[in-house]
Homo-oligomer: A and B are copies of this chain.
């Protein structure tokens, strides 16, 4: 992992108070207890950590979007999640990362030294609870995603994805997708062609409008929810 050179973004600066501007999940407690987090910036597609790297940190997205994924030997890829601002990722059971993390677009991230979850819980129970919350959230997300991957049609997958992304970003019905068709495909267990065709089909049905490739208006979210099953 190395820090990206981006003029505007802060680099490897210690955070005086960890739980400061982190609304969604607050890493609380004494800064000394969980040695202070460091902020890093990453450029688009830059690797944050790789599968097999030593899992020395837990991360939180400050801005931008991160994807975590696993690869098969022949290159097939499954993106298990996109992490938006406020999301925690990189929690591992073992000493090793079981998936890799990359910046979807330019982004900034806080890295917290991982003093072994068990140890942490003794020192700072509240921080441990926050970590637990993050983990439970990942698990719920993973369980829903397994249902999607195993049992939903292409159109249903896209519908679910659009609704989920809308929920997690703006409340409005305009959705700006931060990721490519390739990323969407690898997240939903489809190919880019099928993703594209599904978008087109939804547009023809008047369910969505494609302002541009990455900007989508949900013109009929009722129908979208129905497709969601």
- Measured CB to CB, the residues of A under 8 A from B are 70, 72-74, 76-78, 80, 91-93, 98-99, 117-118, 121-122, 125, 128-129, 132-133, 135-140, 142-147, 149-152, 186, 188-189, 229
CB distance from A217 to the nearest CB of B (A): 26
Q: Which of B72, B92, B121, B139 contacts A142 (CB 8 A)?
A: B139
Q: A136: which B residues are within 8 A, CB to CB? A: 91-93, 117, 135
Quick check: A229 and B74 within 8 Å, CB to CB?
A: yes
The chain B residue sitting closest to A229, CB to CB, is B72
Interchain residue pairs with CB less than 8 A apart (27): A70-B144, A70-B146, A70-B147, A72-B147, A76-B152, A78-B146, A78-B147, A78-B151, A80-B143, A91-B136, A91-B139, A92-B136, A93-B136, A98-B143, A117-B129, A118-B132, A121-B121, A135-B135, A135-B136, A135-B139, A138-B139, A145-B146, A146-B146, A149-B149, A149-B189, A150-B188, A151-B189
CA A197 to CA B186, docked complex, whole Å: 27
Main secondary structure of the interface of A (DSSP, over half): helix
Q: A139: which B residues are within 8 A, CB to CB? A: 91, 93, 135, 138-139, 142
The chain B residue sitting closest to A69, CB to CB, is B147
CB distance from A89 to the nearest CB of B (A): 11
CA A91 to CA B139, docked complex, whole Å: 10
Q: A146: which B residues are within 8 A, CB to CB? A: 70, 78, 80, 142, 145-146, 149
Which A-B residue pairs are the 3 nearest by beta carbons? A150-B189, A142-B142, A149-B149
Q: A186: which B residues are within 8 A, CB to CB? A: 150
Quick check: A143 and B93 within 8 Å, CB to CB?
A: no
Q: A229: which B residues are within 8 A, CB to CB? A: 72-74, 76
Q: A144: which B residues are within 8 A, CB to CB? A: 70, 98
Quick check: A133 and B78 within 8 Å, CB to CB?
A: no
CA A92 to CA B142, docked complex, whole Å: 13
